[in-house]
Chain A
């Protein structure tokens, strides 16, 4: 199965700061998907097909990448963005998730 490695594991950002989370795949994938999970809640889709914003997601979020390297960027950190972020692939079975990046408010 394809292993997704996220970095950093944990990070903190001040309001207005730019945040970038990376996801490296053990084999090339055609697309990457990103989710946000707040404590005690279910994951929420943020980005699909590498760079498309899911409905209702603020445009300070963006995604990019190709092959084995993908990233999620928050252009200007807001307090409500404190959460854990996961990348996910389904280029081959089974679909797999990264271990998550915990983003805290500084």
Chain B
């Protein structure tokens, strides 16, 4: 069974950074891309970028370049996303989701990031 387990909720101060994790199981991590997506409360879903589990190759939404950095640890089948210089606009739920071609077939449970002093 494919599973994507995300790390717990984060409360961070403005200007700080946070690193989110997405631990996978049930499939060959290095054969797929993993995407990260953002959903602000009651709002649309935005694609941040994706990373290939095999070689760490990345693609980013221009809107999130400089804000998000994606990495992987193949040894633990885990994907990571660093978010930097956090502001209130970064307060949202962040999902990891496995790419299958042009869509997202499995999703993590999501992690709430709250930016507040």
Contacts and interface: CB of A to CB of B under 8 A. Distances in A.
Interface stretch (B12-20, B67-75, B76-84, B104-112): B104-112
Contact of A88 (B100, B103, B107, B109): B103
B102 A96 contact: no
Interface in B87-117: 95, 97, 100, 102-105, 107-110
B102 A45 contact: no
Interface of B: 43-47, 59, 61-63, 95, 97, 100, 102-105, 107-110
Interface string A62-106: 000000000000000000000000101111011111111000000
Contact of B45 (A43, A89, A93): A43
Contacts of B46: 97
A31 B101 CA distance: 11
Interface residues of A, number: 23
B107 A93 contact: no
Given A42-B108, A89-B102, 14 more contacts: A33-B102, A33-B103, A42-B109, A43-B95, A48-B105, A54-B105, A88-B104, A93-B59, A93-B61, A94-B47, A94-B63, A95-B47, A97-B44, A99-B44
A86 B45 CA distance: 9
Contact of A90 (B45, B62, B103, B107): B103
Q: Give the residue among A42, A44, A89 with the most B Cβ atoms within 10 A.
A: A42
Contact of A45 (B43, B105, B108): B105
A90 B105 contact: no
A90 B61 CA distance: 12
A93 B50 CA distance: 12
Contacts of A54: 105
B25 to A, nearest CB: 16
B44 A48 contact: no
Q: Give the residue among B46, B102, B105, B107 with the most A Cβ atoms within 10 A.
A: B102
